Amino acid sequence: MNALLPNATAVTVHQIARPDGFPTAAHFRFVETPPPEPVRGTALVENLYWSVDPYHREMMDGAFALNAPLEGRTLGRVVASRDPALPEGAVVFHRRGWRTHAVVAPDETQVLPDLPGVPLSAHLGLLGGTGLTAYVALTRIAPLRGGESLFVSGAAGGVGTAVGRFARLMGVGLLVGSTGSAAKAAYLTERVGYDAAFDYRRGAVADLLARAAPDGIDMFVDNVGGDHLEAAVGALRDRGRIVRVGTISQYNRPDTPPVRFDHADFVEKSLRMEGFLVRDHTDAREELYAFAAPRLADRSLVSDETIVVGFERIVAAFESMLRGGNVGKMIVEAATA
């Protein structure tokens, strides 16, 4: 028993099997233990918010160890500290994810700044890895120039909504998104700032994109891959750029056919394609804060989120996210947050 929290129970989520296709509740187990004890140089954190992300599905195929707690982006409050760098009461970001309590060290945490008017959950959305991905894509990998036409796949997800909102603030010309339902397409145009959005289930993506952007596009931010990437290559104008963020179309379908496009387009139109991992660009976090935090505080920028309350629902939230059940960032909130 933890003498600091004598009546508390810690819960962790373990992956217990490798999925073939979409994961289900049978691939996970909730494990109860006493809260862990912090030692010198660490602190005990009680978690408040958890991020569930598409990349978790890819890691379930081998990167996550079986019968061990899953990692993930998390916000929590320090409840017992053995290190002055992690004062009790501080809210911190860390990656010891799918658990109610975690022992962390200063070098694996970020004490969150006090940003009046900014929702705490935004540190997992527009101010977290999701927003950083969007910001890096638009400023470092393929800087967006004012007036350019931009196409975004998976536009109603966390990264897609962030890209849309940031691009609108950066002076994008035509902003087009794809998503998985008519309701989400309407959300993108009515709430996020997209000029046009289409349900990719309603026809060939190349045809739907041609209708939305008849004069072509200058840039493509890709969260999906597959037929979206094929369509974008054909629609890109001279010196067009592609930023690869994810390939969610393949995460649950290992037999997905390979992407097919005219490779000569890359030479004849001087196209460029580049992928990246956001963990290689953490030095851009302060830039992101300077860009987004004041706008979040004055509400000229909104963090699109789907909040699921209760840690016991984290697996269900993950399954729902993989099947498109969210608009914006999917976040699980502790019932006591």
112-152: per-residue pLDDT in tens? 998 999 999 999 999 999 999 999 999 999 999 999 999 99
pLDDT tens-digit map of 175-196: 999 999 999 999 999 999 999 9
Candidates 221, 104, 118; CA nearest to 162 is: 221
Query: 129-279 — its CATH code?
Result: 3.40.50.720
Higher pLDDT, 302 or 258: 302
Find tokens 């960032």 and name the residue: 329
The boundaries of every CATH 3.40.50.720 domain in the chain are 129-279
Distance CA 247, CA 262 (A): 19
pLDDT number for residue 256? 63
pLDDT tens-digit map of 228-242: 999 999 999 999 999
pLDDT tens-digit map of 244-283: 998 765 554 556 666 777 788 899 999 999 999 999 999 9
pLDDT number for residue 286? 94
Q: In sequence order, what are the beta bridge partners of 219? A: 150, 241
The boundaries of every CATH 3.90.180.10 domain in the chain are 10-125+304-333
Collapsing DSSP to helix, strand or coil, 136 comes out as helix
Distance CA 128, CA 249 (A): 23
Is the pLDDT at 5 greater than 70? The verdict is no
In terms of DSSP H, where are the helices of the chain?
A: 54-59, 129-136, 158-169, 182-187, 205-212, 226-235, 248-251, 264-268, 285-297, 314-322
pLDDT tens-digit map of 71-123: 999 999 999 999 999 999 999 999 998 999 999 999 999 999 989 999 999 99
Query: Which CATH code, of 3.90.180.10, 3.40.50.720, 2.40.30.10, 3.10.20.740, is assigned to 10-125+304-333?
Result: 3.90.180.10
pLDDT tens-digit map of 251-261: 545 566 667 77
